[in-house]
Amino acid sequence: MTPRKLKRVCVFCGSAVGSRPAYAEAARALGREVAARGIGLVYGGGAVGLMGIAADAALQAGAEVIGVIPYGLLKREVGHGGGVEMHIVDTMHERKAKMAELSDGFVVLPGGYGTLEEAVEALTWAQLGIQNKGVVFLDVEEYWKPFLGALDHMATEGFVRPTHRPLAMHAATPGAALDALADYVAPPGTQVWLRPEQM
């Protein structure tokens, strides 16, 4: 199987830096790795937290960086300034749809409710066949281990099909995460239940 060409990857991550220095370092390393591979970075458009760190690192290393942010958050979160191509949208749903449209896969860094919601929606779109793009959790300091364990529990209890559980991939390093996205193929038996315009 030939790896897919990644033109841009979408990064879901926190608007906070978290309690461990390793989270910020992982965001920097991901930004640098994206640039080193000649890939663009799509993200939530903020200048704060892991979002800002990943964007700054990618920019400084020469990558294309695209931010997507609702106007209401732009006023409150302080959108990123120079160097970022900004797309300003009206709603959170438009934000997610635009981020998906602009990217070829998703890397999930540590984050909170918003990060988790974005990642789970991307997984749901993959499950329904709306999009054929990988979702990989960058498991910094085993941050995502409890969540991935919860997904295993859902599968055991019959609420996530065993064929769909592999949709939520995980990696220990930025390089491994990008490799996983490049190698991603939809699990056998994945059906197209909805078209992208029905999201």
Q: Rounded to 5, what percent of the chain is helix, strand, coil?
A: 45, 15, 35
Neighbour count for residue 147 (Cβ, 10 Å): 17
Is the per-residue pLDDT at 110 higher than 80?
A: yes
Which tokens belong to 163? Answer: 């064929």
Please say if the pLDDT value at position 199 is more than 70. no
Tell me the pLDDT of the chain averaged across its residues: 91
Rounded to 10°, the helix 174-183/21-36 angle is 50
Token duo for residue 192: 């197209």
- Is pLDDT above 90 for 1? no
Which pLDDT score, from 0 to 100, does residue 191 have? Answer: 61
pTM of the model: 0.92
More confident residue, 44 or 78: 44
**Helix extents (H) in 47-144:** 49-60, 71-77, 92-102, 113-127
Strand, helix or coil at 160?
coil
For the chain, what percent of residues have pLDDT higher than 90? 79
User: pLDDT tens for residues 25-71?
Assistant: 999 999 999 999 999 999 999 889 999 999 999 999 999 999 999 98
Name the β-bridge partners of 43: 67
Q: Where is average pLDDT lowest: 23-32, 101-110, 179-188? A: 179-188
For 118-145, how does the pLDDT look when each residue is reduced to its tens digit (9 = 90+)?
A: 999 999 999 988 889 999 999 999 999 9
pLDDT band at 186 (very low <50, low <70, confident <90, very high): confident
